[in-house]
């Protein structure tokens, strides 16, 4: 198995070429440190110091992931994210923020970000979060994971990264896909918010329950909309995915 210089299993794009990451931060020292740490993973990395430069770099690089500071000199990261999705709709976005308010975290997720870290942070944490995001986006698949999961009329093809219910295709973001996969790998089992955070986001619990609640609501709108519900809340315990009783 190929490994990085840090000893971790290497992640590449599906065609074997290096993953592409864009770092957007107006602190040149921080951007340099982040860029170096990500290049250490064997990835192709570029840096930008403001929103305009970030969008220009994104059009050229077509990144797989973006490390994006919320506060930029010419705009904010949420506005940049909206433009980035026009350039590359499936790009993974990790927000960097000095803010620690729950409202700011939710704003980032609601705007289409996949995850966030709060300054100050460790480089190891940023790398780990990015690796998790890129795995969820299908850049790498764990060898123990099989290609197909079925719970009732809900079917997930892990290789094709497609989900159908009753034969109807359901479009999911990378994080929604990973959350549903965890539920489908544990049908009829009640999963706590702490378990979901640890498996899907690689978080210690730390009061981030709102992230799980938000993504469960997203899944329900896509998986259960107009249908008999499969995703259930067990009050005080967590969530469970169950096939519809006939």
Q: Dihedrals φ, ψ of 231, to 5°? A: -95, 120
Q: Structural domain of residue 162, as residue ranges?
A: 148-241
CATH number for the domain harbouring residue 223? 1.10.10.10
Helix (H) or strand (E) holding 216: helix 209-219
* Of 137, 165, 195, the domain-final residue: 137
- For tokens 């976005």, the residue is 93
* Of 137, 160, 195, the domain-final residue: 137
In a domain, 15, yes or no: no
Per DSSP, helices labelled H in 5-50 are 28-39
Model's pTM, two decimal places? 0.58
CA 173, 126, 183, 138 dihedral sign is positive
pLDDT at residue 6 tops 80: no
Q: How many domains does the chain have?
A: 2
* Of 118, 137, 156, the domain-final residue: 137
Full 3-state SS string of 96-139: EECCCCHHHHHHHHHCCCCEEEECCCCHHHHHHHHHHHHHHCCC
Helix (H) or strand (E) holding 232: strand 231-234
pLDDT at residue 165 tops 80: yes
Looking at the structure, do residues 125 and 38 belong to the same domain, yes or no? yes
In a domain, 9, yes or no: no
pLDDT at 194: 87
Looking at the structure, do residues 172 and 90 belong to the same domain, yes or no? no
In a domain, 124, yes or no: yes
Q: How much of the chain, in percent, has pLDDT values that exceed 90? A: 41
Confidence class for position 90, pLDDT limits 50, 70, 90? confident
In a domain, 11, yes or no: no
Looking at the structure, do residues 180 and 125 belong to the same domain, yes or no? no
d(CA 70, CA 81): 10
């Amino acid at each position: 198995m190929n490994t990085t210089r840090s000893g971790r299993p290497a992640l590449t794009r599906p065609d074997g070429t290096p993953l592409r990451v864009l770092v957007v931060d107006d602190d040149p020292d921080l951007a340099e440190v982040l860029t170096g740490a990500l290049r250490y993973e064997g990835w192709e990395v570029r840096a930008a110091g403001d929103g305009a430069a970030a969008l220009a770099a994104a059009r050229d690089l077509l990144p797989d992931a973006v490390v994006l500071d919320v506060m930029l000199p010419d705009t904010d990261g949420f506005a940049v994210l909206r433009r980035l999705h026009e350039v590359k709709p499936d790009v993974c976005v990790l927000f960097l923020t000095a803010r620690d308010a729950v409202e700011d975290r939710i704003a980032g997720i609601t705007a289409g970000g996949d995850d966030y870290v709060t300054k100050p942070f460790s480089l190891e944490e940023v790398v780990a979060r990015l690796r998790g995001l890129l795995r969820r986006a299908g850049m790498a698949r764990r060898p123990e994971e099989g290609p197909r999961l079925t719970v009732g009329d809900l079917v997930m093809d892990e290789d094709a990264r497609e989900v159908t219910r009753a034969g109807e295709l359901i479009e999911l973001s990378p994080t929604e896909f990973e959350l549903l996969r965890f539920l489908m790998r544990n049908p009829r089992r009640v999963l706590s918010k702490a378990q979901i955070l640890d498996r899907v986001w690689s978080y210690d619990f730390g009061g981030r329950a709102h992230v799980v609640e938000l993504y469960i609501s997203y899944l329900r709108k896509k998986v259960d909309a107009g249908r008999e519900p499969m995703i259930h809340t067990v009050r005080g315990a967590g969530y469970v995915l169950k096939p519809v009783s006939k």
